[in-house]
Homo-oligomer: A and B are copies of this chain.
């Protein structure tokens, strides 16, 4: 997959400072495009944080169709949900491009949180923000039409990036990615985006949806 999810982050605010993570014994791990970092159903052994590149956190159904739960950009953590509730991963993490991941053993992660309550509070905030986004998207999926679903998703992207980088960075999404995040089909997304862009509600840049 091409790096259309352009994570050109200016000043990243990682969940846990990289040096801190390394001091606690985290290890760097290079992953190449399409490589699976962990799979749905696996028991969680590590806390993961993206150092560089981009990762998608997805469910894949019986027919092989992907539903993207989150696109992870540098500084963000992923898979911590399963670490906290000690249940199998409920989605797989797959590298969108060649990336570098920081990995910390689960037990060490808990020790770190215990010693650094501020970091623990940062995770409570992160989980709450993610939950908030799910509330929003679920409500849209339940009651809104395709155009509303898309604009809600784009709005989220505009907002969420503010949490992890100082300067607003540009995110470009392909219509295929939007389809995989809203549960709509590519054709529907294409037609809806065309309509939204005619109305000036969505901005297109070199053919890609810009937010």
Which residues of A pack against B, CB within 8 Å? 59, 61, 65, 67, 69, 80-82, 84-87, 90-91, 110, 113-114, 117, 120-121, 123-125, 127-132, 134-139, 141-143, 182-183
Contact = CB atoms under 8 A, between A and B. Distances in A.
Contact of A138 (B69, B114, B117, B125): B69
Nearest to A127: B127
Given A81-B128, A114-B117, A134-B134, 10 more contacts: A80-B128, A84-B121, A84-B124, A120-B120, A127-B131, A130-B131, A134-B138, A137-B138, A141-B141, A141-B183
A30 to B, nearest CB: 27
7 contacts: A61-B139, A67-B143, A81-B128, A82-B132, A85-B125, A120-B120, A142-B182
B141 A87 contact: no
A139 B84 contact: no
Contacts of A182: 142
A78 to B, nearest CB: 12
B139 A67 contact: yes
Nearest to A87: B132
Given A138-B67, A139-B67, A127 B84 contact: yes
A84 B132 CA distance: 11
B141 A61 contact: no
Nearest to A179: B142
The copy count of this chain in the complex is 2
B59 A131 contact: no
Contacts of A130: 131
A136 B90 contact: yes
A143 B131 CA distance: 20
Contacts of A124: 84, 120, 123-124, 127
A26 to B, nearest CB: 19
Contacts of A80: 128
A121 B114 CA distance: 9
Contacts of A59: 135, 139
A91 B183 contact: no
